[in-house]
Amino acid sequence: MDLSQIRKKIDELDQKIVGLLNDRTKLALEIGKKKLEAGKEVYAPERESEIYQKIDRLAEKGVLPKDALKAVYREIMSALLALEKPLTIAYLGPEATFTHLASLSKFGTSVHYRPCVSINEVFRDVEQGRADYGVIPIENSIEGAVSHTLDMFIDSDLKICSEIYSEISHFLMSNAPSLKQIRRVYSKAEVFGQCRLWLETNLHHAELMDASSTAAAAKRAQNEDGAAAIGSKLAATLYNLPVLAEGIQDFAQNVTRFLVISKQVPAPTKHDRTSILVSIRDKVGALYEMLGPIRKYKVNMTKIESRPSKKKAWDYYFYIDFEGHVHNARIRKMLADMEKNVKFIKVLGSYPISGSPRD
């Protein structure tokens, strides 16, 4: 075929694709209508997980890379969610933060986003109905847990309904012509920790200045002579700042895990994670007794993090992740056994496991 014939073939396929997408949309809207009539949420993390697993299998048989095909379907599902019910997603802002990028990777560009100034505000917006879902950071592969997020779950009734793993690549941006002219660098303390070696090697002469977010850091750097910021590539574009260095994090595998919070608990899939908060009694062997049922029922614990209760000296809560869904009989038995030896257990959510970008 010559060029014009190939293009004609593409035009014919485009027509079929658009027709099929419209047919798919009609069916999805019918499902959305039935969900709303039944009092269910239109966003179903368990169904989303099922679709992405199907896309992974289909991608193995085609030419399009898996990630590219999943990105296409993310936007298809984003548009459908917006048609079924206007959705608002609260996130730790402002625009162009890494939490914003994680939110976009989960919900696409068709829903409404609400930037928040703090993790507290994200929780409040979802609790009070100003947002349907919230996106918050929970841990970084280099710097560890985000303690404030853990603390918020102590008093909140919101549930974890999904998780997002996002590779974090840091960019140094500035109007300064070279690194030698930079006198101050703005960013978050966690970001400085992730770029410590690079900064000591290349900008040891510059003062490190804390900012409320990487986007706020870029805004400061935009308006100050001799100032730079560390943040996302989107922040550099948004604030029209030249990128002087990219990928400056000390470790290539710099991944942040984010949680999606809401008032719902997704239905079980075959690959779920449950998060709980546990308060143990103040006695010898209390931690050993708490963990005993996890071993007894052969449950794979993937994370444990201690946090002070802030109510009594040396009184701690434990944040625990393990594989399995709270509706599973074995998990229910394990939790019942655990409850006998602790002061209380709070289930924070059961949700589909998302693979790390490196998986």
- Give residue limits of the domains in the chain: 25-33+44-167, 171-253, 265-352
Instruction: Report phi then psi at 192, rounded to 5.
Output: -55, -40
State the virtual CA torsion across 320, 325, 329, 330 in degrees, nearest 10: -40
Residue 309's Cβ-count burial label (10 Å; 0-12, 13-18, 19+) is middle
Q: Comparing 142 with 37, which gets the higher pLDDT?
A: 37
What pLDDT is stored for residue 313 in this prediction?
Answer: 60
What pLDDT is stored for residue 357 in this prediction?
Answer: 47
CA-based torsion, 46, 47, 52, 54: positive or negative: positive
Instruction: Give yes or no for a contact between 259 and 149, defined as CB atoms under 8 angstroms apart.
Output: yes
- Average pLDDT in the chain: 91
User: What integer is the mean pLDDT of 197-210?
Assistant: 95
Residue 50's Cβ-count burial label (10 Å; 0-12, 13-18, 19+) is middle
pTM of the model: 0.87
Q: What is the DSSP letter of 340?
A: T
Residue 197 has pLDDT above 60, yes or no: yes
What pLDDT is stored for residue 61 in this prediction?
Answer: 84
pLDDT (tens digit per residue) in 238-256: 999 999 999 999 988 889 9
pLDDT (tens digit per residue) in 152-167: 998 899 999 999 999 8
Only one residue has tokens 């998780």, namely 163
CA-based torsion, 238, 244, 246, 248: positive or negative: negative
- Categorize the per-residue pLDDT at 314 as very low, low, confident or very high, splitting at 50, 70 and 90: low
Instruction: Give yes or no for a contact between 138 and 257, defined as CB atoms under 8 angstroms apart.
Output: yes
Residue 356 has pLDDT above 60, yes or no: no
Residue 338 has pLDDT above 70, yes or no: yes
What pLDDT is stored for residue 358 in this prediction?
Answer: 42
Q: Comparing 314 with 93, which gets the higher pLDDT?
A: 93
The 3-state DSSP class for residue 162 equals strand
Three-state DSSP string of 239-295? CCCCEEEECCCCCCCCEEEEEEEECCCCCCCCCEEEEEEEEECCCCCHHHHHHHHHH
Indicate if 171-253 has the same CATH topology as 25-33+44-167.
yes
Q: List beta partners, residue 184.
A: 207, 227
State the CATH architecture for 171-253: 3-Layer(aba) Sandwich (3.40)
Residue 311 has pLDDT above 80, yes or no: no
Q: What is the DSSP letter of 142?
A: T
pLDDT (tens digit per residue) in 272-297: 999 999 998 878 888 888 999 999 99
Percent of the chain with pLDDT over 90: 69
What pLDDT is stored for residue 355 in this prediction?
Answer: 65
- Categorize the per-residue pLDDT at 359 as very low, low, confident or very high, splitting at 50, 70 and 90: very low
Residue among 86, 166, 167, 95 at smallest CA distance from 133: 86
**What CATH number does domain 25-33+44-167 carry, 3.40.50.970, 3.40.190.10, 3.40.1690.10, 3.90.1150.10?**
3.40.190.10
Instruction: Give yes or no for a contact between 249 and 168, defined as CB atoms under 8 angstroms apart.
Output: yes
Query: Which amino acid is present at 77?
Result: M
Q: What angle do CA 114, 125, 278 make, to 5 degrees?
A: 125
Q: Does CATH place domain 265-352 in 3.30.70.260?
A: yes
Out of 57-61, 139-143, 241-245, pick the least confident. 139-143
Q: How many CB atoms neighbour CB 18 within 10 A?
A: 10
Out of 91-95, 102-106, 308-312, pick the least confident. 308-312
Instruction: Report phi then psi at 205, rounded to 5.
Output: -85, -10
Q: Comparing 86 with 124, which gets the higher pLDDT?
A: 124
What pLDDT is stored for residue 106 in this prediction?
Answer: 95
